[in-house]
Structure 1
């Protein structure tokens, strides 16, 4: 994990202090004359900082010319950007760096260099987890500890940051305070820093630009100036989904009850998540509620931004699933699930895949346990049907469970939204939505569905499965169904 000189288990970073490289000087205001990416217009709130870092070779876009500003920043991406900001060049590696970072990994050189410099180390099991995302708390430590000469933690400032979700005894508070005092951030709003929210690429670009180029910094409260900040991707609130929900003084059932909330009650989501407990505000009071009993909604931006969604490509490895007309289920559903993943991530969601290749077969319990352990907001399992004795059977259907799933009624709503897209967008025969206790939907407590795209044994359905055009439509249908669910 990330290391630092002082023990830091909560955020997992140990960072060497470093001077700001002179190569990053110059006229920053001239570095953003025009947008470099097709999804970052000149009016985009972070365009100046993104283009500044791009002009310095610190960040890059994707092959299609996009930057995907709402995508979350991974550990691998952070290693590259921080080292690039220090003026380092990527070395060539001849051996695997970690057990999950092979020498042909796109960031292997950067990760290897960061390891050599003592900026990072791996986990005890020999992995690095390059695709794991960073929180805003971790980012604050990463920046302050890396550029320690700039921030100088030995100097105690009198200014107190105004964030109600950054408590005095929290391990990362000194780092957040330094960012605030130096004009790097004023929070996601005037009173919240959202330390446990994931950092997206636009936000990281702004924070890093302001760290290495003072002219980008905002006027902080310490000099009495007005201030601006990278805005939150969304303004989020929650709707109570159960008849009675206790709001407690702390993140556990042993904490005292602050208020009792009825179904349909709207609460402000304050972004402090501890396990499945989230901090909310209602009628002037703050407290914690269990996330599974809230439907989180965004007042602006993408409806799926900041939602944690588990995509389960059915079968895999030793279990190929069904087959017919030259199509194998485990391969087809993985391809479509990965297309859904790209669409969701481009819209700002955090997506967790239960498998990422055709050779892997997670047990059913492993799939549901993963969703529970990641405190997911949603679980979607992708499958196909087969009826060798009835080749005329065709069409899509979506299953949910109300027998054991805590969010059975919400699952039914999600199932309906996805099924409607299969019918209207893909032109599938409508086999409806059905309440069934399949393992993966009954053993998950978040809104969960199992989609059956169609029948491999039907020539018409199979023809669509063989078409790249229709595969993308199937993925779009699932994506739109999820998006519409969060818009309701």
Structure 2
């Protein structure tokens, strides 16, 4: 059989992945071998509907073959389809086992240029049939989305079979802590992944992360929505809408620089920079023309006589005629508008609005008691990190899971003593998964979420407290920042910790919440000074009291 026939069969039969696809919203079970009960059902339907992968027509049925090992060629095609990059058409192949000018060649040459190969070739072969391991998948996905893998290189993993010294550890750790890899992959650290499992990884990554800009020309002026002036010097221009990594910085601009704006979303402006799309923080830009007008703010009730006020934390918050999104809207609240809360049932607050009764989703209301304890009746979720099989960071005889549980239990006691309803994601040495922790908060209609952790670093000189928030679509991230700042400052001041600041990071447990959520790193267990405080009962009480006071301060402001 000729090499050309092998490659043609690979594309037509084995890969079964379209080069281009139209995304739809259908979630119909199109594959005969992927029932709705299959663990990868949703992911496989996503990659099919998004045009990332196809199937096999056999015997009048469309099959996906989820249990078949995913190959290098399949993984490469799915990943580049997810990124949406323009493929390189080359008359010469870089690999002896990939036909030049073939459909596969376009993907392989593009992946080579983007450094998205599982490993660099030393014999001019791509090995398209070779299976892809979890390590391989973690490597190429992390690279594709410019993830900050060094940040997660010292984070603990509850997986057996991979040590922190493994060169792939940082890639698996990154995807785990960002919610792409979950506990179902725990036994696959040194194993190959199948088509179903790779679909889960690629679907989660594609929905969580924005692909870096790949040099695509900016659209015509007719698609410009406005123009802005930059208000500061040395502002970073980035290839993706995140400041959590530095590898996406493509340039710097100074005060007075003018940009055309093509999108305005979640605090980032999509602009034209050197002929390609790029992103700048909206915080440091001022519209000259074209800013999208905001809906008129309705007049709230003149007086509020009930014991609780709800302050809107987002713009465009719908007030509905009943407790559910299926009820009609009777008005809109914008950020800072206040309504009197009559009662709360699950996620819905019954409120007085323009002399009428309405219902608002309470996740977008900051509930403020007008007398007594600021936290009375508030549902606060406390999440002691790690636990059970996952000890977290370790130094000498100290473990992260034990330290944070002690602190969390004391936070719980202080909050409950002041009338709060406290939900713990774990109360003993157990291990709820990251997904379980999110579900616990949701099932208990939480109103604030605080995840407590201990830090670690390869350098013993790293020390101090830092607190994280996340920005996700539709999120009231300004509330996250406030809560993070109050807690962080309390710990720094009361425990005399080095202040590492409030930072943005898409940790799974805070990135998947619809309530104000933060993750606090009390200190570094790898630093002698910090560790001495973390294992000291007096300081444990100080840490707990500081978190409690930070939450109270949030509700008092």
Residue 445 of structure 2 corresponds to residue 385 of structure 1:
no
Indicate which of 361, 368, 392 corresponds to 2:438: 368
1:458 to 495, 507, 527: 527
248, 261, 264: which one aligns with 2:336: 264
Deviation at 1:241, TM superposition (A): 1.1
| 1:430 corresponds to which of 499, 516, 519 | 499
> Could you list the per-position Cα deviations for residues 399-442 of structure 1 after superposition, in whole angstroms to 9, with x for gaps in the alignment?
01013472322111100000100111111000001000001010
Indicate the structure whose relative CO is greater, using CA pairs within 8 Å and at least 6 residues apart. Answer: 1
Q: Which residue is 1:345 aligned to? A: 416
TM-score (norm 2): 0.44
Q: Is it true that 1:243 corresponds to 2:315 in the alignment?
A: yes
Cα–Cα, structure 1 residues 364 and 352, in superposed 2: closer, same or farther, change >3 Å?
Answer: same
Paired residue for 1:486? Answer: 555
Aligned to 1:304: 375
Q: What is the root-mean-square deviation of aligned Cα atoms in Å?
A: 1.2
Q: Is the 8 A contact 1:404 1:442 kept in 2?
A: no
Counting matched residue pairs gives 252
Provide the residue aligned with 1:329 in structure 2: 400
Q: TM-score, normalised by structure 1?
A: 0.51
CA distance in 2, matches of 1:479, 1:261: 30
* Paired residues of 1:309 and 1:376 also in contact (CA < 8 A): yes
CA displacement at 1:460 relative to structure 2: 0.6
Q: Deviations over 1:256-286 (max 9, x none)?
A: 222222221110001131x311100023111
Q: 1:289 aligns with which of 360, 381, 394?
A: 360
Give unmatched runs, 5+ long, in structure 2.
1-305
2:396 is the alignment partner of 1:320 = no
Q: Is the 8 A contact 1:308 1:378 kept in 2?
A: yes
Task: Confirm or deny: 8 A CA contact 1:325 1:457 kept in the other structure.
Answer: no
Cα distance in 2 between the residues matched to 1:371 and 1:416: 21
SS at match of 2:495: coil
**Aligned counterparts of 1:281 and 1:343: Cα–Cα separation in 2:** 32
Measure, in 2, the Cα distance between the counterparts of 1:272 and 1:392. Answer: 48
Maintained 8 Å contact 2:382/2:423: yes
Partner of 1:184: none
Unaligned runs of 5+ residues in structure 1 are 1-233
Q: Which runs of structure 1 show a deviation greater than 6 angstroms over 4 or more consecutive aligned residues?
A: none
Other structure's SS at 2:548 match: helix
Contact persistence 2:314–2:476 (CA under 8 A): no
Match of 1:33 in 2: none
Distance verdict in 2 for CA 1:413–1:461, change over 3 Å: same
Map residues 32-431 of structure 1 onto 2, 5 A cutoff: 235-273=307-345, 275-358=346-429, 360-387=430-457, 389-404=458-473, 406-431=475-500
Asked if structure 2 preserves the Cα contact closer than 8 Å seen for 1:380 and 1:451, the reply is yes
Instruction: Tell me, yes or no, if the aligned pair for 1:246 and 1:260 is still in contact at 8 Å.
Output: yes
Question: Does structure 2 conserve the Cα–Cα contact (< 8 Å) formed by 1:405 and 1:442?
Answer: no
CA distance in 1, matches of 2:344, 2:412: 25
Q: Looking at CA atoms only, which structure, 1 or 2, has the larger radius of gyration?
A: 2
Please state how far the C-alpha of 1:470 moved relative to its aligned partner: 0.6
Bigger share in strand:
2
